[in-house]
């Protein structure tokens, strides 16, 4: 009988954190954070991290593992997640992978190919060159090139997702083979473990309301102060892309009022939530739980437990 790995996914603001804690209590889980923001130290408020007191009771893996001045990518996260899964299984517990980072989830489930070590230096040089081209000619210029060299990958990438556009072009420059071809040989944990994937969903109006309430809450909790400290550092490219940093930096520079800043963050977060749902809906393995207004984390966890024998 294969060991289990449970995934709990869904758009930002849907309520994954509270439900994951309740599930972890009931099913003897340790949580692996599938979140591209929560890996960073010092991004506590902006990423809505679980409190340290809860993390003492229920271990959370892959939180606070990287300095905001360091680059971090999906391949590094997958390797660390695999290590965490093995460690959790050794304790005779079940790994519960929780988050909304679509690419992280996909690469852990289905695998990610690794570049040979000998091309690392070339890759960094090519990547820097592509970022310079993006600054000079714009994202659309690189996206059109990707459409020509690897149309299958271009279909799966949003034209504004510069990091993934550059990643795909970088691989093509090195291998002269589209990333879509190379990825066909990848192998993920779905072939190794008994994986169960559950998704949380709410009515759009309710989700947007929760996003707005979250933004108000994190501002009250000291978001401006946290970002003020962060922007003094030499933020890596990946860390600087976190929603809210650019907007609050603009507020600190008097470009926006406080209300304009909140509106911009809300708009970007809502757009991100839409992209998350568009991605997740394509994955037919996800079993969806539609949350009603009357549901709390206990009743939602109960619905998940009733779907399968966990």
| Rounded alpha-carbon distances, angstroms, from residue 131 to 42, 138, 153, 258 | 26, 9, 19, 31
Structural domains in the chain, CATH included, are 4-112+187-307 (3.40.50.300), 117-185 (1.10.20.140)
Model pLDDT, residue 186: 67
Cα(93)–Cα(102) distance, rounded to whole angstroms? 24
Report DSSP state, residue 67.
Answer: -
The dihedral sign for the CA sequence 65, 48, 85, 193:
negative
Close Cβ partners of 237 (under 8 Å, ≥ 6 residues apart):
71, 131, 163
The Cβ-side half-sphere exposure at 13, using a 13 Å CA radius, reads: 28
**Angle of the 162-175 helix axis to the 139-149 helix axis, nearest 10:** 40
Q: Given strand 287-290, what is the order of strands in its sheet?
A: 60-61, 29-33, 94-99, 4-9, 194-201, 287-290
Instruction: Walk along the chain (310 residues) and give the pLDDT tens digit of each residue.
Output: 899 999 999 999 999 999 999 999 999 999 999 999 999 999 999 999 999 999 999 999 999 999 999 988 888 899 899 999 999 999 999 999 999 998 899 889 988 765 444 344 466 788 888 999 999 999 999 999 999 988 889 998 999 999 899 988 988 887 677 787 766 666 789 989 999 999 999 999 999 999 999 999 999 999 999 999 999 999 998 899 899 999 999 999 999 999 999 999 999 999 999 999 998 998 999 999 999 888 999 999 999 998 877 6
Q: How far apart are CA 75 and CA 239, in angstroms?
A: 16
CA distance 310 to 307: 9
DSSP 45: T
Q: Is 196 helix (H, G, I), strand (E, B) or coil?
A: strand
The length of the chain is 310
Q: Please provide residue 109's backbone torsions phi and psi, each rounded to the nearest 5 degrees.
A: -70, -45
Pair of tokens at residue 101: 């980072």
Q: Within 10 Å of residue 148's Cβ, how many Cβ atoms?
A: 8
Q: Which of 241, 246, 276, 279 is nearest to 260 (CA)?
A: 246
Residue 90 has a CB neighbour count (10 Å cut-off) of 8
pLDDT at 184: 67
What is the model's pLDDT at position 119? 42
Count how many Cα atoms sit within 13 Å of the Cα of residue 47 in the half-sphere of its side chain.
25
| pLDDT at residue 191 in the model | 87
Q: What is the pLDDT of residue 183?
A: 66
């Amino acid at each position: 009988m294969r060991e289990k790995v449970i995934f709990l996914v869904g758009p930002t603001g849907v309520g994954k954190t509270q439900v994951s804690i309740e599930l972890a209590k009931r099913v003897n889980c340790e949580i692996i954070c599938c979140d591209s923001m929560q890996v960073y130290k010092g991004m506590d408020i902006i990423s809505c991290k679980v409190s340290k007191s809860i993390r003492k009771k229920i271990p959370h893996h892959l939180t606070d593992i990287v300095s905001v001045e360091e680059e971090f990518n999906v391949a590094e996260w997958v390797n660390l997640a695999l290590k965490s899964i093995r460690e959790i299984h050794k304790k005779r517990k079940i790994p519960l992978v929780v988050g909304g980072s679509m690419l992280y989830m996909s690469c852990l489930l289905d695998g990610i190919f690794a570049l040979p070590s000998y091309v690392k230096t070339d890759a960094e040089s090519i990547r820097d060159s592509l970022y310079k081209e993006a600054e000079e000619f714009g994202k659309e210029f690189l996206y059109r090139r990707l459409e020509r060299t690897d149309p299958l990958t271009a279909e799966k990438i949003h034209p504004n997702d510069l990091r993934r556009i550059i990643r795909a072009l970088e691989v093509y420059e090195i291998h002269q083979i589209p990333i879509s071809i190379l990825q066909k040989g990848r192998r993920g944990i779905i072939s190794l473990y008994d994986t169960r994937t559950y998704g949380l969903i709410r009515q759009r109006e309710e989700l947007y309301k929760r996003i707005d309430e979250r933004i108000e809450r994190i501002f009250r909790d000291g978001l401006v102060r946290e970002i003020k400290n962060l922007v003094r550092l030499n933020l890596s490219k990946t860390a600087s892309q976190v929603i809210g940093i650019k907007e609050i930096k603009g507020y600190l520079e008097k470009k926006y009022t406080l209300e304009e800043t909140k509106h911009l963050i809300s708009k970007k977060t809502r757009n991100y939530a839409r992209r998350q749902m568009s991605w997740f809906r394509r994955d037919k393995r996800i079993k969806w739980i539609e949350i009603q207004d009357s549901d709390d984390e206990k009743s939602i966890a109960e619905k998940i437990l009733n779907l399968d024998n966990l």
